[in-house]
């Protein structure tokens, strides 16, 4: 008697269990991730196009100082409580020589000065592609990852979680950069 | 940030025009998530707790609060009649059938959102503050003028959302707008239509997920409950049903508004079909789970 019930119990349970199938990523996780992403866009008014542009400009800017794995640069927003942070994660391939940096900067300064001079006559801002000294040495050296955090201070009243100054250089990571690291680094 | 009970002690300080009522707007962004249901239930629960409560339906053209309260046949004047001078504010307040502490200022069904201005709503709220402990404003969906009007006279807000992406996204938008309004001193989140068994199977965002994503303080968790529909059918808020879980959840919200520290119901307890089946068989087999 008891066995019949136990058997039935397991069968019915099995039936219901089937409907509760679990994939690698649950629909709730998908929802959370999609939502987080879209809310960051909503809150910052940054469309994917603008993010892409920001990304390009950052690469251009930062390339003057370090040689990095441009493909692996990650840019995104993360939320910590009520504080939003712009997270930038850059795998560094190689440090630039001091002279190299200075040369690039000098070149840029010269260009700027020239532009200013030109502007006095009549100006048309030309897009400059000043990273000729680029020479993309493909990565043989293991890369250091530079992580930067730029806080967007809009501070809605309430919980302040300051003092999360994560020193941007420091941490050494493999080139497989996943921005999740940044989060743990902060805590 | 917190909704406190500070200004509830109206009776002690009735020195003429001392304003004591708290104006709370109930809003959401997305439509159909339960603003009006929330309004009717919190209002009724507060009145049952002895507070003087008036509810203002600002959803012009789409009025519903009267239906949820079963007052649709008693409405003579609406908020538009008040602002257009056809009646006194007092005259337009409809008393609840059961609870004399509870009143409704109905929306006009035949007019659109432009029939009342922010200024007029602010004035009405100021006036009502003198006589009521709580003024609950039922806000229309959306972020347009209707929302702006509803928020105008309020200093607190309850943002209603469900654990669904679109509702949460819209709630985030509303929170942004509320934060931009200086007169709103605090806002809280009310999570409606929560389905514990879906959360359990990871098919619905949990309460924690939503709270984390919106990073807003929580004032209530209301389960999905068919009783809400049947109570609406009858024009009788579910808080009047002592046995209902949703009713209990709404009564708890009212107590929190008054300033009591009430723990949240544990909805995650086994209430799903599966667990019922489990329990049924467990009973037959004679062992607990
Ligand atoms: N917890 C719940 N369980 C089951 N049904 C619910 C629940 N909450 C609300 N509903 C149902 O959802 C529907 C919409 O509710 P309601 O009218 O309160 O939403 P609203 O936000 O005021 O809508 P609108 O934006 O149109 O004003 C109603 O049919 C109501 O019965
Ligand atoms: Mg409504």
pLDDT digits over A99-158, tens only?
Answer: 889 998 999 899 999 999 888 876 554 544 444 444 444 444 455 666 666 555 444 444
HSE-up of B119 (CA within 13 Å, CB side)? 0
In this prediction, residue A149 carries a pLDDT of: 60
Residue pair B175/B214 in contact (Cβ under 8 Å)? The answer is yes
In this prediction, residue A187 carries a pLDDT of: 28
Residue pair B112/B61 in contact (Cβ under 8 Å)? The answer is yes
Is a pLDDT exceeding 50 seen at residue B146? yes
B168 touches chain A (CB under 8 A): yes
DSSP-based three-state secondary structure for B95: strand
ipTM over 0.90: no
In this prediction, residue A146 carries a pLDDT of: 61
Which of A167-185 are b and which e, b meaning 16 or more Cβ less than 10 Å from the residue's Cβ? Answer: eeeeeebeeebeeebbeeb
In this prediction, residue A144 carries a pLDDT of: 61
CA distances from B222 to B37, B44, B248 (A): 11, 16, 9
Instruction: Considering only the beta carbons, identify the residue of B173, B209, B274 that sits closest to A42.
Output: B173
Q: pLDDT (tens digit, 9 = 90+) per residue, B88-129?
A: 999 999 999 999 999 999 999 888 888 999 999 999 999 999
B218 touches chain A (CB under 8 A): no
A33 touches chain B (CB under 8 A): no
Name the residue with the closest Cα to ligand 1, atom 10. B34
Instruction: Round to whole Å and give the CA distance between A38 and B170.
Output: 11
Instruction: Round to whole Å and give the CA distance between A32 and B254.
Output: 29
What are the beta bridge partners of residue B223? B194
In this prediction, residue A50 carries a pLDDT of: 87
Name the residue with the closest Cα to ligand 1, atom 8. B34
HSE-up of A152 (CA within 13 Å, CB side)? 19
In this prediction, residue B264 carries a pLDDT of: 94
List Cβ neighbours of B127 (8 Å cut-off, separation of 6 or more).
B89
Instruction: Considering only the beta carbons, identify the residue of A12, A20, A158 that sits closest to B277.
Output: A12
In this prediction, residue A178 carries a pLDDT of: 36
Atom from ligand 1 closest to the CA of residue B38 = 18
Q: From B199, which residue of chain A is nearest by alpha-carbon distance?
A: A28
Instruction: Considering only the beta carbons, identify the residue of A9, A32, A34 that sits closest to B285.
Output: A9
Domains, chain B, ranges and CATH?
19-288 (3.40.50.300)
Q: How confident is the model at residue B52 (pLDDT cuts 50, 70, 90)?
A: very high
In this prediction, residue B251 carries a pLDDT of: 97
In this prediction, residue A164 carries a pLDDT of: 40
Mean pLDDT for the stretch of residues B39-47: 98
Asked whether the whole model's pTM tops 0.80, one would answer no
φ and ψ at residue B123, rounded to 5 degrees = -65, -45
Mean pLDDT for the stretch of residues A65-79: 83
In this prediction, residue A96 carries a pLDDT of: 87
Instruction: Dump the DSSP string for A32-91.
Output: HHHHHHHHHHHHHT--HHHHHHHHHHHHHHHTTTEEE-GGG-EEEEEEETTEEEEEEEEE
- Average pLDDT of chain B, as a whole number: 88
Residue pair A61/A68 in contact (Cβ under 8 Å)? The answer is no
- DSSP label at residue A21: -
Q: pLDDT (tens digit, 9 = 90+) per residue, B240-288?
A: 999 999 999 999 999 999 999 999 988 765 555 555 555 555 555 544 3
Q: Which of A71-80, B106-115, B231-240 has the highest mean pLDDT?
A: B231-240
Instruction: Round to whole Å and give the CA distance between B112 and B120.
Output: 15
Instruction: Round to whole Å and give the CA distance between A68 and A148.
Output: 14
In this prediction, residue B211 carries a pLDDT of: 94
Distance of CA A33 to the CA centre of its chain: 15
Q: pLDDT (tens digit, 9 = 90+) per residue, A36-69?
A: 888 888 888 888 888 889 888 999 898 888 888 8
Which ligand is closest in space to the CA of residue B249? 1
Best CA proximity match to B56, nearest among B92, B91, B85, B31: B92
Is a pLDDT exceeding 90 seen at residue B137? yes
Q: Say which range, A44-58, B32-46, B210-224, B262-276, has the weakest mean pLDDT.
A: B262-276
Q: pLDDT (tens digit, 9 = 90+) per residue, A95-105?
A: 888 888 999 89
- DSSP label at residue B186: E
Copy the structure tokens of residue A79.
Answer: 């939320």
CA distances from B70 to B37, B52, B233 (A): 12, 19, 9
φ and ψ at residue B117, rounded to 5 degrees = -105, 170
Domain positions in chain A: 35-181
In this prediction, residue B62 carries a pLDDT of: 93
Instruction: Round to whole Å and give the CA distance between B179 and B163.
Output: 22
Mean pLDDT for the stretch of residues B14-31: 79
Copy the structure tokens of residue B215.
Answer: 């990073």
Atom from ligand 1 closest to the CA of residue B160 = 21
Is a pLDDT exceeding 60 seen at residue B185? yes
Residue pair B206/B199 in contact (Cβ under 8 Å)? The answer is yes
List Cβ neighbours of B244 (8 Å cut-off, separation of 6 or more).
B225, B227, B231, B238
């Amino acid at each position: 008697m008891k066995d019949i019930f136990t058997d039935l119990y397991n069968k019915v349970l099995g039936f219901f269990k089937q409907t509760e199938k679990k994939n690698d990523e649950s629909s709730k996780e998908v929802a959370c991730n999609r939502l987080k992403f879209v809310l960051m866009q909503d809150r910052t008014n940054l469309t994917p196009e603008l993010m892409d542009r920001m990304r390009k400009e950052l690469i251009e800017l930062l390339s003057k100082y370090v040689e990095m794995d441009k493909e692996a640069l990650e840019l995104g927003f993360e939320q910590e409580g009520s504080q939003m942070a712009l997270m930038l994660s850059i795998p560094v391939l190689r440090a630039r020589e001091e002279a190299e940096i200075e040369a690039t900067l000098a070149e840029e300064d010269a260009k700027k000065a020239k532009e200013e001079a030109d502007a006095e006559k009549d100006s048309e801002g030309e897009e400059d592609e000043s990273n000729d000294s680029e020479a993309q040495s493909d990565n043989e050296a293991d890369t250091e990852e530079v992580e930067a955090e730029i806080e967007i201070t809009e501070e809605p009243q309430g919980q302040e979680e300051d003092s999360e100054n994560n020193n941007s250089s420091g941490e050494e990571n493999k080139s497989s950069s996943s921005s999740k690291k940044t989060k743990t680094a902060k805590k | 940030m917190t909704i406190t009970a500070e200004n509830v002690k109206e009776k002690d300080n009735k020195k003429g025009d001392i304003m004591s009522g708290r104006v709370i707007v109930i809003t959401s962004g997305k439509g159909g998530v339960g603003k009006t249901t929330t309004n009717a239930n919190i209002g009724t629960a507060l009145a049952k707790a002895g507070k003087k409560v008036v509810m203002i339906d600002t959803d012009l053209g789409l009025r519903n609060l009267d239906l949820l309260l079963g007052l649709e046949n008693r409405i003579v004047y609406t908020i538009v009649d008040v602002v257009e001078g056809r009646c006194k504010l007092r005259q337009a307040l409809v008393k609840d059938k059961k609870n004399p502490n509870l009143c409704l200022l109905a929306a006009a069904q035949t007019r659109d959102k432009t029939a009342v201005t922010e200024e007029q709503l602010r004035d009405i709220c100021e006036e009502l503050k003198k006589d009521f402990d709580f003024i609950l404003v039922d806000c229309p969906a959306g972020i347009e003028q209707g929302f702006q009007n509803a928020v105008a006279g309020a200093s607190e807000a309850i943002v209603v959302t469900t654990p669904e992406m679109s509702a949460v996204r819209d709630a985030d938008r509303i929170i942004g707008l509320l934060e931009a309004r200086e007169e709103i001193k605090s806002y809280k989140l009310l999570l409606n239509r929560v389905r514990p068994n879906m959360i359990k199977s990871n098919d619905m965002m949990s309460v924690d997920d939503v709270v984390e994503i919106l990073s807003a303080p929580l004032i209530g968790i209301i389960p999905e409950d068919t009783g809400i529909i049947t109570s609406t059918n009858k024009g009788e808020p579910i808080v009047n049903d002592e046995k209902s879980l949703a009713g209990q959840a709404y009564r708890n919200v009212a107590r929190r508004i008054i300033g009591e520290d009430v723990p949240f119901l544990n909805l995650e307890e086994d209430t799903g079909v599966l667990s019922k089946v489990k329990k049924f068989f467990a009973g037959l087999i004679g062992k607990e789970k």
